[in-house]
Amino acid sequence: MDTPIQTRGRNRLIPPTPQMRKIGFGTGVSVYSMQRSPCNGNERSPWAVKKLLRSSMDRSYEKRLDIEADLLKKLQHPNIVEFRAFELNSNGSKCLAMEKCEISLGDFLERCEAPLPPFIIKKVGLDIANALHYLHSECMILHGDIKSYNILIKGNFEVAKLCDFGVAQRLDENGINSEDNYIGTLLWSAPEVLPMGSGPTTSKADIFSFGLVLYEMMTLHPPPHGCRSSLDDSTDEKLGTRPDLPCLSQEYEPIIHLFNWCTEHDLNLRPTAGEVIVYLEKFEMNVYLLQVEEAVFKVNSMRGIIFEFFGNMLLFGQLAVNLVERKLNLENSRQASSATHVGEQGQAKQGRLSNIYHYVYEDSEEGDLASPEE
């Protein structure tokens, strides 16, 4: 793991923009991939570098980057993107370097042709719920902008990580933000934090947005329009409402239940992040038990097939034995019949020889045959 570093000065870690590849963008910022050369013969992991755009170098965006850098340095959780460095670029703009992940969930969903399978949704959901529980319960922080594009995926969904803390807010001991300055993406915002909402701003706002991420993974569409080309449309009357789901197979029912629970209009009816974790872990156990039951069923079915196979083999063997016995009996009968026939022929031949003997010798005694001397 790279050691988090903060540096401002001549020994810069982050190169100029032309030397990096752009991999994303956000409000007032662009994100670049920074490849790092080996150190002492050891390969080093790449960084993701967030830079302010020249057109948006006003104090508000710079403040967001300051807030994000300050928070990331303090946050230590496996499901939150890791801090690497924070420094000034050659032109005086600030750069925030973080660990680099393969792709955002939002970008991944844009490439999908079918909803994510339930076990993947459960995996991503559990990772993000763990991050939110850490933020809400231990750090007393509201993320404030939960959406698929702020969730990063490492490897083949090995781990999901929460990123982009530029609009995060502090929560009091009751999980409430009293400043009333929520700044999030409207399409993913809870009804109480919208401009026309009645508040208050609590940790349950993140839970509503989390529920809409579940919707994205089940439908491949952002809420509530169902079309990614309308992401900038903020006037739709469906904002802050639960979007309708298409018909999904029965295996999605636990995810659908959680989606409905998280997107309740009344924030008091929504679960906490901790309750989401318990639900998903229980769901994981149920899935495991179902897999065990399925495996046992397959074993029993296979055992039945094996028993049937060997039963058929025994029956076939018995039939083969019977057939061989019948063939042997038939062969024995044929041999016995042949032997009887041969015996009868021998007796007939012996009788003829006896007659010849009797005729020759008895007639010679009577003188019917002349002696050789005569």
User: Are residues 177 and 41 part of one domain?
Assistant: no
DSSP conformation class of 166: T
- Pairing outcome for strands 94-99 and 47-52: antiparallel
The residue assigned the tokens 């929460």 is: 162
Residues 133 and 67 in one domain: no
- Does residue 364 form part of some domain? no
Please indicate, yes or no, if residue 327 is contained in any of the structural domains.
no
57 occurs within a structural domain: yes
Structural domain of residue 30, as residue ranges? 17-99
pLDDT digits (tens, 9 = 90+) for 327-361: 777 777 777 666 665 555 666 556 665 665 555 55
Count the domains in the chain. 2
Q: 95 with 107, same domain?
A: no
Low-confidence ranges of the chain (pLDDT < 50): 1, 3-5, 7-10, 233-234, 369-374
The percent of the chain in helix, strand and coil, each rounded to the nearest 5, is 50, 15, 35
> Which pLDDT belongs to residue 283?
76
CA 61/CA 57 separation, integer angstroms: 7
Q: Give tens-digit pLDDT for 24-48.
A: 777 778 788 887 777 777 878 888 8
Q: Are residues 77 and 119 in the same domain?
A: no
Is residue 94 situated within a structural domain? Answer: yes
- Percent of the chain exceeding pLDDT 90 equals 42
Picking from 83, 99, 115, the residue at the C-terminal end of a domain is 99
Q: Tell me how far apart the alpha carbons of residues 96 and 89 are, in angstroms, rounded to a whole number.
A: 10
DSSP-assigned beta bridge partners for residue 25: 30
Which residues are designated catalytic? 145
Residue 311 domain-assigned (yes or no): no
**What are the phi and psi torsion angles at 89 (to 5°)?**
-80, 175
Q: What is the pTM of this model?
A: 0.71
Same domain, 121 and 266: yes
For residue 161, report the phi and psi dihedrals to the nearest 5 degrees. Answer: -130, 140
pLDDT at 220: 94
